[in-house]
Amino acid sequence: MYLQMPKLNDFERVSLLEGPTPIQRLTRLEQCVDGRCALFVKRDDLTGLGGGGNKLRKLEFLLGQARAEGKDTLITVGARQSNHARLTAASAAAVGFHAELVLTRTVAKSDDDYLYNGNPLLDNLFGATIHDLPGDADALAFAEQRARELAGRALVIPAGGSSAIGMLGYASCAEEIVHQEVAMGRYFDKVVVANGSHGTQAGLVAGFKALGHSGSKVQGYTVLSPLAEACSNTLAKAQQVAALLGSDVTASDILIDDSELGPGYGIETASMKAALSLMARRQGLLLDPVYSGKAFAGLLAAINAGKYDGQTLLFVMTGGTPGLFAYRQALA
């Protein structure tokens, strides 16, 4: 019998995914690590809308909230190459909302590829209104002021869609993974994710806890915040989601590694580029340079260090392929 979270049905949801995303085995990559572990990927990059990516899971619940509250506009914030902003614009176009994106130049890159290719190119194609702010601007304050100007017609969505409602999308993903474990006859010792705005890991942790599993089943790699900040923020967010699900999360449920953060958010590292190249050349799959590339580099280092010998691992591929074109010079 499948475990379920009936409280998820208390929240309105707009369908943006085509069904469960597949889990695939990385057989050729297992050879590269001498068969030390069984390695699988959860293909959250294979969502069809807007170029694909994991943020659609959060947006299903966020658009449900906007619809329930009678909104007609979505306003969100992010860095210039935000995958979440792109998918907010695409979701709005698909469902019939207007999208406004407040994008800040927070990453120290000023070449034309970064500023205008990749996600910003697609933001424009989806018809979003873009507010281009400097890196030190308070994007959320700008968004909230813009919402006041729209006299209650807009829902303000935080970075990464990582509000309590939005993060229910990854609690739902935890339920989906448990169902897939049953169907496959496998148990994943660790589910590995990139940790940026904290919502993906927080939602997974809260979801697994609500289903009776340990939250420490999830291993995160921070790509944005210093370790202590990432741990405290992820715990707080996971507790927000758990409260909605009638569950609880403690500090022992939060596992985050900062070994791949490098110089900072959006700044490439040698290990990221090596991991990205290895995945492409051995499996024909595309990681992104900001999130999944760094997280997978961390996972490879841990496997090669013997941390996961004999275990079965699931890496969540979160999408972000358009960002590769913004990093053309760095990846050349």
Classify residue 162 by its DSSP letter: -
- Distance from C-alpha of 56 to C-alpha of 211, rounded to nearest angstrom: 22
Residue by residue, DSSP assigns 187-251 as --SEEEEEESSSHHHHHHHHHHHHTTS-GGGEEEEESSS-HHHHHHHHHHHHHHHHHHHT----G
CA atoms within 13 A on the CB side of 81: 29
- Distance from C-alpha of 21 to C-alpha of 258, rounded to nearest angstrom: 28
In the annotation, is 82 catalytic? yes
Which distant-in-sequence residues (6+ apart) come within 8 Å of 10 by Cβ? none
Are 308 and 36 contacting, i.e. CB atoms less than 8 angstroms apart? yes
Q: One of 82, 162, 163, 172 is an active-site residue; which one?
A: 82
Are 131 and 101 contacting, i.e. CB atoms less than 8 angstroms apart? yes
- Distance from C-alpha of 199 to C-alpha of 159, rounded to nearest angstrom: 9
Query: Tokens representing 284?
Result: 């024909």
- Distance from C-alpha of 25 to C-alpha of 20, rounded to nearest angstrom: 16
Catalytic positions, written as ranges: 82
